[in-house]
Structure 1
């Protein structure tokens, strides 16, 4: 992770130098990383407070650091509390915007019509595991469902063996790791199992589910990653960025076309191509069709208010989110996130025109 962030910083520095050396005839097109970006945001000042999903935290921190270069008088604090807490704090007016990988429900305390979804990036949810002697693993959705609801208890179970012909699997007990906090990652992972393993998966879907008592819970994606890292026989669901940072091994998952696909940004992009975008800009790329599609692809959103009491605050939110959707998209791949397709990015930018202040 550190090396990717360093490289991103070097690239940004190079872009900034290029912008400083540009002539007066350079294009003012937003999102190019040139001097126009600096002039557009340099007049902004103030502080933004936000909380929410830990899934996109690595990406948002990269963008916040980069935004400081073009808007030096703006401070953005994003606290990765998990989607559930982020939505509640947003509804209570404790933060200016929130990050969430899941959609708002009545129980979140956010009034209908008071907010907008702004999609930002997408990424794979890995099924990461720690199994001594096994560095390649394939899992079908039905087998995955049985593992996570503890119907399958050891790694040499016939169902896992059937997914992995020719692989010697040990008689090691399976340790299931999951999120202990309200989480959009949990929501998307369980929503995937509900769709792809219908009839097998029995725990439903949501930011929290009633996991079997023998399983282990960790706070945030990083907490789940640590349980997996420290326990031989462990398996859990973790975003790609944190899985790589923790040096976890992850399984290839059987997609709707019957292909076992490992988590990758290319697999995410393939999954996004077939996703249906709703009028409010929510969309569902889970279990998407396509031979190259990685099936556990998760969207993530920023929740913004339709009206801010302070016009200056509205301008700050609009400016920062616009930066995410333009220059910030160029940083996504450096921290293992996929940028939005152009058509969806353009619709997300149009959402900002609806913010009043």
Structure 2
């Protein structure tokens, strides 16, 4: 276990009376990384993005070995609902793939962004006789705006000169709930394609002919059950549903398959903002996968209960240390070390 010196006092919580977690900051990193447990008792409630859910569930399971007295409940409701419940003080922290907006009800000075991992958003499809598909941003825009309606459309054929494309009708699947995955997918199209007209956000006005599914799993289910369907799904859920997914043309002109390596390449060129938000979409780089998306936890700047604050920061610190080693196992890219250190420092600001 590689938790920093800041949380070592939590192992003897009965000896601590903390007025603010910031007072625990600045300790030396421990030299002994042997397994030990944190003496904490708490039940944490969180909700939000379904995009990173597979990763969070694995980390939660492993964290139970480190802090057996802490129960962490994370419900994958979608980023929009996660932000709403966080604003209503119904949860201790929230997951989101999109940034907090003016309509989300969360006060600007009441929370911190803590980036956790990143992953590719796949453009998954159901065409039994097409094993490999390549798509450019303009072609994806045309498909999702229902301007390209059959698979043998000239625009798709131009991206795939060697493929035998069927005349099958295209069924577009998208998120029906407020979703950070939708924000990142539409933000990519808004940036990469001059043909995109639907804007970007947790929700957009999709054409009437399209179908909506709840969470990434709902979109994956539509694709899985509908020949000719196409939709945007995180890599973990696409693999879990055994979906085929396209290679997407990046800003360097290369068709890149969604992968952890392609996401890592996209992260390398991302500019980090002061609040630790960042944008790896349509990133430069020959090997960068262009629809690589970040995800965050929203953590309160101050908690009324010191025990809750200790448990929240201990869990997220574990997620940013030992938990990063679990990311690739479930198709997520760990944070670059420089960003991970900034995320850990963000936790030092949390008070109780």
Q: Which runs of 5+ in 2 are unaligned?
A: 1-28
C-alpha deviations, 1:296-342, integer Å up to 9, x for none?
00000000000001111111111000000001001100100000000
Counterpart CA distance in 2 for 1:326 and 1:92 is 30
Counterpart CA distance in 1 for 2:162 and 2:184 is 31
Q: Which runs of 5+ in 1 are unaligned?
A: 1-26
Counterpart secondary structure, 1:271: helix
Q: Does 1:347 align with 2:342?
A: yes
Query: Which residue, out of 282, 289, 312, partners 1:317?
Result: 312
Q: Does 1:267 align with 2:262?
A: yes
C-alpha deviations, 1:164-197, integer Å up to 9, x for none?
0111100000000000000000000000000000
Counterpart CA distance in 1 for 2:87 and 2:30 is 37
Query: Which residue, out of 274, 295, 300, partners 1:279?
Result: 274
Counterpart secondary structure, 2:282: coil
Counterpart secondary structure, 1:191: helix
Counterpart CA distance in 2 for 1:166 and 1:320 is 50
* Cα distance change on mapping 1:29 and 1:252 into 2, 3 Å: farther
Q: Does 1:81 align with 2:101?
A: no
4+ residue segments displaced more than 6 Å? none
Please show how residues 184-203 of structure 1 align to structure 2 within 5 Å: 184-197=180-193, 199-203=194-198
C-alpha deviations, 1:145-165, integer Å up to 9, x for none?
000000100000000000001
Q: Does 1:134 align with 2:130?
A: yes
Query: Which residue, out of 202, 207, 213, partners 1:212?
Result: 207
Counterpart CA distance in 1 for 2:347 and 2:198 is 37
Aligned length: 324
Match in the other structure for 1:307 = 302
Deviation at residue 29 of structure 1 after TM alignment: 4.5
Counterpart CA distance in 1 for 2:162 and 2:247 is 16
What value does the CA root-mean-square deviation take over the aligned residues?
A: 1.0
Counterpart CA distance in 2 for 1:116 and 1:207 is 20
Counterpart CA distance in 1 for 2:151 and 2:347 is 49
Match in the other structure for 1:101 = 97
Counterpart CA distance in 1 for 2:286 and 2:105 is 40
Please, what TM-score do these two structures have when normalized by structure 1? 0.90
Please, what TM-score do these two structures have when normalized by structure 2? 0.91
C-alpha deviations, 1:10-53, integer Å up to 9, x for none?
xxxxxxxxxxxxxxxxx9448x5x32xx24xx211111000000
Match in the other structure for 2:228 = 233
Counterpart CA distance in 2 for 1:250 and 1:256 is 19
Match in the other structure for 1:111 = 107
C-alpha deviations, 1:85-134, integer Å up to 9, x for none?
00000000000000000000011110111000000000000000001210
